[in-house]
């Protein structure tokens, strides 16, 4: 078993680190187009009652209900376990098997408000993107900006909480915290932890066009591909002014799998009498 594990691909090596805030990994083409189709088929085969409609997106909750005190666990279905076990093994970042998955569906003009994931989760998250590209923005937690804007959404088990162990008295500390963004292409895997998890909010704008040339993972090669229209959904916007901008035009539905671990697990109790 040890040997088998050591020969596996590790997707959290330095080559996949993007940006300067510890630690964000971006793995393009983590799954194949066939695997993407298979996942989408399974997601859309779920009964309609499995979808929870929110103001700006729909979601499916798998793995059980997350409470402040932990998870009322339900086994993940085999088609999800297949991909979460792979992420668990190949990332080597989770303390135990991934036991909770939120599946979010966004139409081109939908997004998710800047938020932090709730305290029930181990502070590592893996997000698999399907369908259509999107830009995820990371902004320093309000504590680091000296403002108290409440941007919480309150419907995704996610809350804004003040990060612990922060020294905020000095401007030096504050200056380290700059917003950044990551372009999430279909079939890619994003993993973030450490400061990126604890000191930043993450969100997706609800706009159909999203500028991404400043994104930390947008390389020259992606720019070239965009210019040659090789990447669907990406285009060079030449109307914006003197500088060209790479803009994602969200033309289709995006579906994402947010994979996490809740360590405090309660099994459903069945009372016999
Ligand atoms: O859809 C995404 O990429 C982000 C989802 C997210 O942040 C969440 O479910 O907490
Ligand atoms: Fe989140």
| Residue 162 exposed, middle or buried by CB count within 10 Å (0-12, 13-18, 19+) | exposed
Q: Give the Cα separation of 180 and 92 in Å (integer).
A: 25
What's residue 161's pLDDT?
47
Q: Which residues of the chain have pLDDT under 50?
A: 1-5, 147-162, 164-172
What's residue 139's pLDDT?
96
Atom nearest to 158 CA in ligand 1: 10
- Residues 130 and 256 sit within 8 Å (Cβ to Cβ): yes
Residue 166, token pair as written in the block:
């922060």
| Residue 216 exposed, middle or buried by CB count within 10 Å (0-12, 13-18, 19+) | middle
User: At residue 154, what are phi and psi to the nearest 5 degrees?
Assistant: 65, 10
User: Residue 263 is inside which H or E element, if any?
Assistant: none
pLDDT in tens, 172-208: 455 568 999 999 999 999 999 999 999 999 999 999 9
To 5 degrees, how large is the angle CA 14–CA 245–CA 206? 80
* 204 Cβ contact list (under 8 Å, min separation 6): 106, 111, 112, 134, 135, 136, 137
Give one DSSP letter per residue of 28-95, joined into a string.
TT-S-HHHHHHHHHHHHHS-GGGEEE-SS-EEEEESEEEETTEEEE-PPPHHHHHHHHHHHHHH--SS
pLDDT in tens, 88-113: 999 999 999 999 999 999 999 999 99
Q: Which ligand is nearest to the CA of 112?
A: 1
- The complex scores an ipTM of 0.99
Ligand 1 neighbours, Cβ below 6 Å, are: 102, 104, 112, 117, 127, 136, 156, 158, 202, 256, 258
User: Residue 216 is inside which H or E element, if any?
Assistant: none
What strands lie across the sheet with 58-62, from one edge to the other?
24-27, 189-193, 124-130, 254-260, 100-106, 58-62, 51-53
Rounded to the nearest angstrom, the distance between the alpha carbon of 258 and the centre of ligand 1 is 6
Which residue puts its alpha carbon closest to atom 8 of ligand 1?
258
pTM exceeds 0.95:
no
End-to-end CA distance of the chain: 44
**CB half-sphere exposure, 270, CA atoms < 13 A:** 1
**Closest by Cα among 208, 257, 256 to 233:** 208
What's residue 218's pLDDT?
85
Pairing of strands 70-73, 265-267: parallel
Which residue puts its alpha carbon closest to atom 2 of ligand 1?
256
Which residue puts its alpha carbon closest to atom 10 of ligand 1?
117
What's residue 242's pLDDT?
55
Rounded to the nearest angstrom, the distance between the alpha carbon of 163 and the centre of ligand 1 is 19
């Amino acid at each position: 078993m040890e040997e088998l594990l050591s020969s596996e691909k590790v997707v959290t090596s330095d080559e996949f680190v993007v940006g300067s805030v510890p630690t964000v990994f971006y793995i393009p083409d983590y799954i194949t187009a066939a695997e993407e189709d298979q996942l989408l088929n399974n997601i859309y085969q779920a009964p309609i009652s499995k979808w929870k409609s929110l103001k700006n997106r729909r979601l499916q909750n798998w793995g059980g209900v997350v409470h402040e005190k932990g998870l009322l666990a339900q086994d993940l279905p085999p088609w999800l376990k297949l991909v979460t076990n792979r992420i668990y093994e190949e990332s080597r970042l989770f303390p135990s098997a991934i036991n909770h998955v939120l599946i979010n569906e966004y139409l081109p003009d939908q997004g998710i408000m800047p938020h932090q994931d709730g305290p029930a989760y181990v502070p590592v998250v893996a997000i698999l993107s399907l369908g259509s590209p999107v830009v995820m923005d990371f902004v320093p937690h309000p504590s680091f900006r000296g403002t108290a804007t409440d941007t919480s959404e309150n419907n995704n088990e996610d809350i804004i909480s003040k990060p612990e162990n922060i020294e905020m008295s000095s401007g030096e500390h504050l200056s380290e915290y700059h917003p950044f963004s990551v372009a999430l292409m279909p079939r890619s895997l994003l993993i973030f932890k450490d400061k990126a998890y604890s000191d930043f909010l993450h969100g997706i704008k609800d706009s159909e066009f999203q500028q991404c040339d400043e994104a930390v993972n947008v390389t020259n090669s992606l720019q070239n591909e965009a210019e040659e229209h090789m990447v669907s959904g990406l285009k060079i916007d030449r109307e914006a002014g003197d500088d060209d901008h790479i803009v994602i035009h969200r033309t289709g539905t995006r579906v994402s799998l947010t994979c996490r671990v809740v360590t405090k697990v309660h099994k459903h109790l069945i009372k016999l009498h």
